[in-house]
């Protein structure tokens, strides 16, 4: 694939159209590498470039190891090309949604990895400050803050009582998806609200307002009991 270069202006504001999807199908059905290259350069590359650009800025995926975001886009586009042959329009998914999901998943993992690296470089006195919410490693031991200890207690309680707290099956599934972020918090860092919602929707396919409703209920339980925990040193679950 040719290096990223300045893109030609699209003919309309819709950079990822049915023509783009048709070109991807044609690309996948073409055996001649020279023709495939021409199809990609003329019909697909700009769409992939704008798709990656828009997702990076919309969801603020800015924890990177590169100074120029176009270099990051190049990495993602290379990955998209490695997956392009898997796109099958007969399965019902539109190309825009299909490749958009791939980009978002790639960026979530990439940002998680880079954010974790940054946290490891933060001075210990910052991590152990009064209001710290991070864990850090000293030798082989994991030193946990009061908040981190409380999160473990909170997750165990809600998990054990999830159907009492959320009688509807779908609500319980959403709550469990949110709890999964807490369970994996040492390996997963969610950097902003939009990214968090993307991650949850990748676990369970529901609309944002429904996630917000369940998250608000969990937050109410968490906040009320955490204040008690700080004041008394134990949880009253």
pLDDT in tens, 150-182: 888 999 999 999 999 999 988 998 999 888 888
What is the pLDDT, as a whole number, of residue 129? 42
Q: What is the reported pLDDT for 90?
A: 93
The residue ranges of every structural domain in the chain are 18-119, 125-232
189: confidence class by pLDDT, cuts 50, 70, 90: low
Share of the chain above pLDDT 90, in %: 40
Percent of the chain with pLDDT over 70: 75
pTM: 0.53
**Comparison of pLDDT for 96 and 233, the residue scoring more:** 96
Q: Which residue has the tokens 């190309």?
A: 95
To 10 degrees, what angle do helices 193-203 and 208-232 make?
110
Residue-level pLDDT at 228: 78
Q: How much is the pLDDT for 134?
A: 42
- Longest alpha-carbon distance in the chain: 71
Provide the phi-psi class of 147: left if phi over 0, else alpha when psi is between -120 and 50, else beta.
Answer: alpha
Average per-residue pLDDT for the chain: 79
Question: What are residue 128's phi and psi, to 5 degrees?
Answer: -100, 15
In the predicted structure, residue 126 carries a pLDDT above the cut 90: no
Two structure tokens written together for 55: 């997702």
């Amino acid at each position: 694939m040719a290096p990223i270069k300045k893109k030609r202006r699209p003919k309309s504001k819709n950079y990822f159209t049915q023509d783009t999807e048709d070109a991807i199908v044609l690309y996948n059905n073409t055996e001649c590498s020279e023709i495939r290259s021409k199809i990609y350069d003329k019909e697909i590359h700009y769409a992939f470039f704008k798709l990656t650009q828009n997702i990076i800025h919309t969801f603020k995926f800015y924890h990177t190891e590169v100074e120029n975001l176009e270099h990051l886009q190049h990495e993602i586009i290379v990955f998209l090309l490695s997956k392009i042959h898997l796109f099958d329009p007969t399965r019902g998914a539109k190309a825009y949604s299909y490749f958009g999901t791939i980009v978002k998943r790639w960026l979530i993992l990439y940002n998680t990895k880079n954010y974790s690296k940054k946290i490891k470089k933060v001075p210990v006195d910052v991590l152990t400050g009064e209001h710290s919410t991070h864990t850090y490693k000293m030798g082989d031991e994991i030193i946990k803050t009061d908040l981190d200890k409380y999160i473990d207690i909170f997750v165990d309680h809600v998990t054990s009582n999830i159907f009492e707290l959320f009688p509807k099956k779908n609500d319980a599934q959403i709550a469990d998806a949110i709890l999964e972020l807490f369970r994996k918090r040492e390996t997963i860092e969610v950097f902003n609200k939009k990214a968090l919602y993307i991650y949850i929707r990748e676990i369970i396919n529901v609309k944002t307002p429904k996630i917000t409703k369940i998250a608000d209920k969990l937050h109410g339980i968490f906040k009320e009991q955490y204040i008690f925990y700080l004041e008394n040193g134990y949880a009253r679950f």
